[in-house]
Structure 1
Amino acid sequence: MRDLVVIVVIALLASFLIKTFLIRSFYIPSASMENTLLGEPGHHDRILVDELVPRLIPLQRGDVVVFTDPDHWLGDEPQPASPTGPVATAADWVAGLVGMSNHDSAGHLVKRVIGLPGDRISCCNGLGQMSINGIPISEPYVRIPPGYTAVSRDPFHTVVPAGDLWVMGDNRYNSSDSRFNGPVPIEDVVGRASVISWPITRWNWLSSYPATYNAVNQTNP
């Protein structure tokens, strides 16, 4: 029994350290990133987030990132329900300790990085494309409803401030992102989402689509 307790404690400690410094799990509560990530009721994807980004590894355009709500972005969006009862509360505490609690996702959002500090971003050109630093990009991940051609229903032009990111959902016609709420401070980024971990049928790596941003990456803002 003593050895079992020691093993459990070591496992929990290791999981806690992994959650704190390396990998953390979140689930997706909204549809703003569909079809890349599913967030409709009953179809919530769970993702693994690499916390070395941006602590040690710099962010890139195209990265899918999780960040804390910088200024009441969430509004009335659904949030993970708090557990009820002592057993459920204890189980949720243990799950949260190792980064597997749904409640651990509260107060966080997930979007795709479009612009880095200094980038000039505008939308849309005659083909419905967004441009970064004067270069139009083709975004295969954007979900566009039937009857529309532009990657954003709302035209905009912005310059990303120093220390901030311009983030947008892949489901552009159903996403309250930087177009409406402004840029996100880099310091609010928890990490880069790298894998859909659950359900098993949805397991997949999350791409940053480097080819989309290749030409932009060769320019300076």
Structure 2
Amino acid sequence: MNLQPILGNFALILFVAMVVTGVIWCLDVFYLARKRRAAANAALAAYDARNAKATADGIKLDNGNRAAIEAALLRQPTWIEYSGSFFPVIALVFVLRSFLWEPFKIPSSSMVPTLLVGDLILVNKYAYGIRLPIINKKIIQVGNPQRGDVMVFKYPKDPSQDYIKRVIGVPGDKITYENKRLTVNGKPVDYRPMDDYLDDERPVYHKQYMEMLPGAQHRILTMEGRRTLDLGSVDNFPHRENCDYSYDKFTCIVPEGNYFMMGDNRDNSADSRYWGFVPDQNIVGKAIAIWMNFSNPKRIGGIH
């Protein structure tokens, strides 16, 4: 699922805006404001000298203009005033969005029933480590993805795109998918049948199960009549030699520093089965909550 970041490439836009407004703010604080103060002091000194001379000549003057002259000379130009006002706000938003939380919009159905089209989700950016914005380089280790986590990452085939899937395998895991059932490290995953799920996009029911991954459980969907795997869609991805594919089964050993991802809508998801593993450097963060769905406000809540 190719996620839609709120307002497009907002990180880059914010960074550029922060740099531009920050440079203007610094220029004003450390140079332009002092220059205006010096000009005001010189003008006031000349004004006071004229007033003193006039008073000595017996002319009575109104000194009320002095404050107005000083205020006019110290007033910031409009472009500097707006930049100075916006800079702290932009900097705060940039820090929050780059290091703490980032919003995304769900555009497709590969994570149904967990996430629906139109869900606006919040992603924890520090759950798996503190990363530098724009270049996404990890600088502080905080935690690692766990099986069952819903994770946002840079699509390995095109890092400009953000994807969201569920973590099925962590480094070293042996993942087998056969007859639409998972086996993790030789242990079959348990499945509990649930009521059929009615597709929101068309009047079709899907089989729904509670999948009991080691340490986590969540709902998945399968479609009757669909094959376990479409071999024609499998790419030649990095570490492809770690996987063994057949008509209705595949087995993969997750390499170090990589993760195996799958969508909850199993027969309607292009995921690690087809385009391979997700390297650690591609991780964006952990999806933690649905903060709004304008078509269905009842969707607001945590992600499981």
Shift of 1:57: 2.1
Corresponding position: 1:21 with 2:73: no
Task: Provide the residue aligned with 1:117 in structure 2.
Answer: 171
Shift of 1:114: 0.3
Corresponding position: 1:132 with 2:184: yes
The structure whose residues are more often helix, as a share, is 2
Question: 1:95-174 maps to which residues of 2 (within 5 A)?
Answer: 107-124=161-178, 128-138=180-190, 139=211, 140-146=218-224, 152-153=228-229, 154-174=248-268
Bigger-Rg structure (1/2)? 2
Task: Provide the residue aligned with 2:32 in structure 1.
Answer: none
**TM-score, scaled to structure 1:** 0.68
Unpaired segments ≥5 residues, structure 2 = 1-77, 130-141, 191-210, 212-217, 230-247
Q: Give the 3-state SS of the residue equivalent to 2:290 in structure 1.
A: strand
Shift of 1:7: 6.4
Q: Give the 3-state SS of the residue equivalent to 1:53 in structure 2.
A: coil
Question: 1:187-206 maps to which residues of 2 (within 5 A)?
Answer: 187-199=281-293, 200-206=297-303
* Cα-Cα RMSD: 2.6
The structure whose residues are more often strand, as a share, is 2
Match among 118, 121, 124 for residue 47 of structure 1: 121
Shift of 1:141: 1.3
Give the AA of the match of 2:123: V
Shift of 1:11: 3.1
* CA deviation string 1:104-125 (max 9, x = no partner): xx71110000000110010226
Q: Give the 3-state SS of the residue equivalent to 1:54 in structure 2.
A: coil
Shift of 1:10: 2.9
Match among 33, 43, 46 for residue 111 of structure 2: 33
Q: Give the 3-state SS of the residue equivalent to 2:219 in structure 1.
A: coil
CA distance in 1, matches of 2:282, 2:223: 31
Give the AA of the match of 1:160: V
Q: Give the 3-state SS of the residue equivalent to 1:29 in structure 2.
A: coil
Shift of 1:169: 0.3
* CA deviation string 1:90-134 (max 9, x = no partner): xxxxxxxxxxxxxxxx71110000000110010226xx5211101
Shift of 1:71: 0.8
Q: Give the 3-state SS of the residue equivalent to 1:196 in structure 2.
A: strand
* CA deviation string 1:174-197 (max 9, x = no partner): 000000111110110100000011
Shift of 1:201: 2.2
* Higher RCO structure, 1 or 2 (CA under 8 Å, sep 6+): 1
CA distance in 1, matches of 2:272, 2:184: 15
- The count of residues paired between Structure 1 and Structure 2 equals 167
Residue identity (%): 37
* CA deviation string 1:76-95 (max 9, x = no partner): xxxxxxxxxxxxxxxxxxxx
